[in-house]
Structure 1
């Protein structure tokens, strides 16, 4: 059958069945694979047109876009090529184009035209699937409501469109209580308007919405049906919420953020909330906190003037938040629920919390109830609470920082722990570790901390899943609460991903302990630097110093390595002898290795002891250079074997320095 040529230079033949279509070809208008009925060039030059595409009007008054007609236009291609605002794809062929930068692929335009006009008879070629055999592909979504198609009855056209049957039968025009002035019409949200009811913009592209063009108003399709719930119950609140459909600006009493949409109101408490916020879980378990968090519309008096544990900004006590009654900490709703993988919902209010098993068992207490004699599961002897007050030269075997009051000590072997280190639980979750598994307290394993990269064999928390380890110093520094640095007057808070410069070492930061009141910030490892240290270069204790008052440039050198020293970086100083030295020169690269402990993971037949020579430096048996820093020495005195730490240990256990020399 011959027909008009639709702009083609040769006559066209109408093919009505698949047997007549002898080759696989693409439609010259829509660009998709041709199927019958279609037109084929009588001269066999390769020109094909779907019958629907051939008969598509040159000008289309589309119900979804009433402002202007859509003109059938050849896509000009890069750099001004058109993208279909319905399906989001670009095409090299024809589109329906509007001067207001709205474009439709031909099949999208005709498909949505039939949906808007409720011409379901035009969709008879589309197979209607039964819900019991519908696709389980979670990526397939309805092109009207953008909800997943799985377990829904839907159309699944050959051209790739998917549509719930219920969405195909949506009324084109309706009257709704949220906008009584004009009817709402089914249309594309071409101006990206926020929904009058929920306040959010469309989640997928422009989206199909119910809108009022004169009033520049849009309502999500799902929100239209949702507003039938005129009264909703909220488990976090003792009174029901009633729908207030008029669009207005308000601060949500459940989450504390602004809303410009229809709200739900508790007339008793005089609070307005987003519809979605009436579904907030009452109790959650968050990786940011060991205890359960409860949602509160009004904070109790003990939480007044609190800051959010995550963002450190103030939490308004008159608006909704999550809080922990055990620790007096609060969280903004959006901060603690933003990452869906960071919390779980507690279904039962009387559900028991998993207790954190203590690392110690108390043997004796004083009259004040304080534990004075304990047994720690990581040490063979009993530990006593020190009765002394003052400075000490020993280091805590848990965190390897200098001992300070209060602490526990062992009278038999010199083992000691800060009281805070001793009381840490056997198992814990930490917010800064991405793995979902809990962390177990370990000791006497040489490891490199995943946060500060320091090498240590003191106490650490090891992930039960990925086996990565975090030292106690970092666990303590990253605990969600204000930290106080002895070199700064204000509390410090941890900010992950913050780009700046560390005040101690002068190096760039990417996650720091930072002051909210000024520009002071520190790396985690710089925060944990010992305030005092000893070195053979001086008979006195050296003090960590954060500024150099001496402006004479030649004084800016290190008295240990005799190299230049940056006066803007922290250093160790003796005021009595006027000795100054680099941090690394005083502390060495392996400050947190316990000297005298055994390291067996080498090829040597005898156990090796971790040592640090101070006054004489025997040559390394591997590289023949003097062992000036941490070394491994054979525990058998007759063996005389000694090697640098870096010569026999894996590269993963080698330290590095970021301090300028």
Structure 2
């Protein structure tokens, strides 16, 4: 079927010459157009790159040989959006779609088609950049879609659509005879299934691989040895590695994982490793830990900790791992190097450790050396260390949780800080934050936590790059290592969502994906559920309510909330008073904004006077914006003669509005 000359557009199209200046987007691929290109003769805003206009309706792509790719105006999904399976960018423009679920931008499909056909002359219009040219995209170093090495290492193609490829990867042969898989040739392909590499056992998210369709086998480009490779020299290991020219199963001495193909041997050290492990950095600095980590082929006897700080599975002391000599902790090689953005290579063993500046200045210490009088840089007065003597009426101004441990307090203004919150540094790097920039400690600024989603104006860490903010509760809960929960007998550990432990339901609220999980039983909690205070007060009862994780009363009439008078799930956590037999939903006890400091000032409004954050309990004046009663958190004018009062939601940005996940 031949496409008409207007390429599916209702009006005729004109070809614009190279000397004509155009500022518009292509109606097929969405990228900026430049002449020569096609435009609508009726000037309705329709433009096409010449290459997009001439794109075939059906493409038999060599990298995807079993099904044709069909050019469609919209992806055949409910909302028409799709994610390109090669550049991983979301779009709703024209798409090359396969019945097996493969989707490609036009430019990604045509660019890789020319690569597969070795039509490098067709890429003359694509800029070939020198390795010294910076290729940083935002905060991330751009990577080659073929071998996943940094583009700064080699000369590379950099097309407008953001699909980048080394020149050497553009010249990869379509077929390859591999000495360890002789029965069939290996074909360069997209690995759309996706399958794990037979050499390193890692499943690559996207990019080129060599594969055998008949045997369901793929091999990463970087894992394959060069055809004439006899030895591998690397500065990170003091000796030369030689490839073993036989297919034998082995355990890599560098990372502890199984290998089947292509072992590399150091005859001096009597070790056998994967090819990629020949270049493992000896020293790294990871976001998971404050000190440098050293690669060891076996753990010394002084290391008593045998569990990885990331996956919490045992680290085999007889095989390679990364360890910290200061803290006696270990990491699996794959866990700590899985995300290239989460670590950096340290070149010198005697390089200075990163210094974290303390938030406090110590004024007095006791005989045990404990700081008893301090000055915190976020508070104007001195703070004194006080023991916890009972009572939950005060909250920490750092994390907004009730004071329950040894804490610092101010005798002049009623300011409280947990000892752990006070000792957090001014600046820190967080392993769970995607940006490469450090985060700075801030206070008294309303924000939405990027981890738990709660609104607060207490202490937080703000990224110096993207300005995202993370509350102290999440910073502390996500600190690597075991966490103690008073509602569970075993310690809890953080598991990333793709790990098996992090796929269950939260025991507190019943929603999926509790990330703090128990290794010994099927128990897991969300970050915000983990941070729930054990004791809380509410107007529905004169006593303090206790957080309860089960309801022993089988009488269904008792399964209701005494605050909102609606039913509650007896299998979900709630607050209860044993003296009065009063029960309440978690959300009913705390409301929508449990971590806003009442009585503090909020100035980011159009009102001429500063506003005070209040929570009305007994009388409900009408909001000056929407005229409805102010029953929950509101902003009240700090000047007594001005009767201005508004709901929090009526004057604050939508990004500072709360949501609820707890079942009512």
CA distance in 2, matches of 1:437, 1:190: 37
Q: Is contact 1:134-1:151 (8 Å) kept?
A: no
Match of 2:509 among 502, 505, 508: 505
Q: Which residue of 1 aligns with 2:384?
A: 384
Structure 2 residues not aligned, in runs of 5+: 1-56, 71-115, 132-141, 157-165, 213-218
Q: Which residue of 2 aligns with 1:623?
A: 626
Structure in which a larger fraction of residues adopt strand: 1
Residues 213-245 of structure 1 deviation map (CA, whole Å, 9 limit, x = unaligned): xxxx9999972556422x756635x66655544
Q: Is contact 1:196-1:247 (8 Å) kept?
A: no
**How much does 1:487 deviate?**
0.8
CA distance in 2, matches of 1:301, 1:290: 23
CA distance in 1, matches of 2:475, 2:281: 29
Residues 436-485 of structure 1 deviation map (CA, whole Å, 9 limit, x = unaligned): 11111000001111111111110001111111111000111112222121
Tell me whether 1:527 sits opposite 2:530 in the alignment.
Answer: yes
Bigger radius of gyration among the two: 1
Question: CA distance change for structure 1 residues 436 and 552 in 2, over 3 Å: closer, same or farther?
Answer: same
Runs of 4 or more consecutive aligned structure 1 residues displaced over 4 Å after TM superposition: 81-92, 133-139, 146-152, 184-208, 217-222, 231-234, 238-244, 266-270
Question: CA distance change for structure 1 residues 535 and 247 in 2, over 3 Å: closer, same or farther?
Answer: same
Q: Which residue of 2 aligns with 1:235?
A: 236
Q: Which residue of 2 aligns with 1:69?
A: none
Tell me the SS of whatever aligns to 1:483.
Answer: coil
Q: Which residue of 2 aligns with 1:514?
A: 517
Match of 2:541 among 531, 538, 542: 538
**How much does 1:151 deviate?**
5.8
Equivalent residue runs for 1:121-132 within 5 Å = none
Question: CA distance change for structure 1 residues 150 and 489 in 2, over 3 Å: closer, same or farther?
Answer: closer
Question: CA distance change for structure 1 residues 319 and 458 in 2, over 3 Å: closer, same or farther?
Answer: same
Question: CA distance change for structure 1 residues 257 and 623 in 2, over 3 Å: closer, same or farther?
Answer: same
Q: Which residue of 1 aligns with 2:366?
A: 366
**How much does 1:292 deviate?**
1.8
Tell me the SS of whatever aligns to 2:655.
Answer: helix
| TM-score (normalizing by structure 1) | 0.69
Equivalent residue runs for 1:586-605 within 5 Å = 586-605=589-608
Tell me whether 1:638 sits opposite 2:641 in the alignment.
Answer: yes
Q: Which residue of 1 aligns with 2:225?
A: 223
Tell me the SS of whatever aligns to 1:303.
Answer: coil
CA distance in 2, matches of 1:201, 1:374: 51
CA distance in 2, matches of 1:245, 1:534: 71
Residues 112-152 of structure 1 deviation map (CA, whole Å, 9 limit, x = unaligned): 9xx9xxxxxxxxx999xxxxx9954999x9x9xx9999769
Question: CA distance change for structure 1 residues 91 and 559 in 2, over 3 Å: closer, same or farther?
Answer: closer
**How much does 1:639 deviate?**
2.0
Question: CA distance change for structure 1 residues 151 and 625 in 2, over 3 Å: closer, same or farther?
Answer: closer
Q: Which residue of 2 aligns with 1:547?
A: 550
CA distance in 2, matches of 1:367, 1:488: 36
CA distance in 2, matches of 1:594, 1:320: 49
Q: Is contact 1:195-1:219 (8 Å) kept?
A: no
Which has the larger displacement, 283-292 or 303-312? 303-312
**How much does 1:490 deviate?**
1.6
Tell me the SS of whatever aligns to 1:525.
Answer: helix
CA distance in 2, matches of 1:199, 1:558: 52
Q: Is contact 1:86-1:207 (8 Å) kept?
A: no
Q: Which residue of 2 aligns with 1:275?
A: 275
Q: Which residue of 1 aligns with 2:586?
A: 583
**How much does 1:627 deviate?**
2.2
Q: Which residue of 2 aligns with 1:326?
A: 326
**How much does 1:582 deviate?**
1.0
Aligned residues: 525
Question: CA distance change for structure 1 residues 225 and 406 in 2, over 3 Å: closer, same or farther?
Answer: same
CA distance in 2, matches of 1:400, 1:221: 50
Residues 595-647 of structure 1 deviation map (CA, whole Å, 9 limit, x = unaligned): 11111222222211111223333333333333221122222222232222222
Structure 1 residues not aligned, in runs of 5+: 1-77, 93-111, 116-124, 128-132, 153-161, 209-216
Tell me the SS of whatever aligns to 1:417.
Answer: strand
Q: Is contact 1:199-1:260 (8 Å) kept?
A: no
Tell me the SS of whatever aligns to 1:475.
Answer: helix
Question: CA distance change for structure 1 residues 415 and 271 in 2, over 3 Å: closer, same or farther?
Answer: same
CA distance in 2, matches of 1:189, 1:649: 57
Question: CA distance change for structure 1 residues 561 and 201 in 2, over 3 Å: closer, same or farther?
Answer: closer
**How much does 1:195 deviate?**
10
Which has the larger displacement, 269-278 or 412-421? 269-278
Q: Which residue of 2 aligns with 1:316?
A: 316
Q: Is contact 1:234-1:240 (8 Å) kept?
A: no
Question: CA distance change for structure 1 residues 491 and 642 in 2, over 3 Å: closer, same or farther?
Answer: same
CA distance in 1, matches of 2:589, 2:202: 57
Residues 271-296 of structure 1 deviation map (CA, whole Å, 9 limit, x = unaligned): 32223312111111222223222111
Residues 397-425 of structure 1 deviation map (CA, whole Å, 9 limit, x = unaligned): 00000012221111111111011100101
Question: CA distance change for structure 1 residues 284 and 637 in 2, over 3 Å: closer, same or farther?
Answer: same
Tell me whether 1:357 sits opposite 2:361 in the alignment.
Answer: no
CA distance in 2, matches of 1:536, 1:379: 31
Tell me the SS of whatever aligns to 1:509.
Answer: coil
Tell me whether 1:253 sits opposite 2:253 in the alignment.
Answer: yes
Q: Is contact 2:495-2:517 (8 Å) kept?
A: yes
CA distance in 1, matches of 2:470, 2:220: 50
CA distance in 1, matches of 2:474, 2:629: 33
CA distance in 2, matches of 1:596, 1:126: 67
CA distance in 1, matches of 2:368, 2:129: 64
CA distance in 1, matches of 2:375, 2:120: 75
CA distance in 2, matches of 1:555, 1:381: 49
Q: Is contact 1:196-1:262 (8 Å) kept?
A: no
Which has the larger displacement, 404-413 or 287-296? 287-296
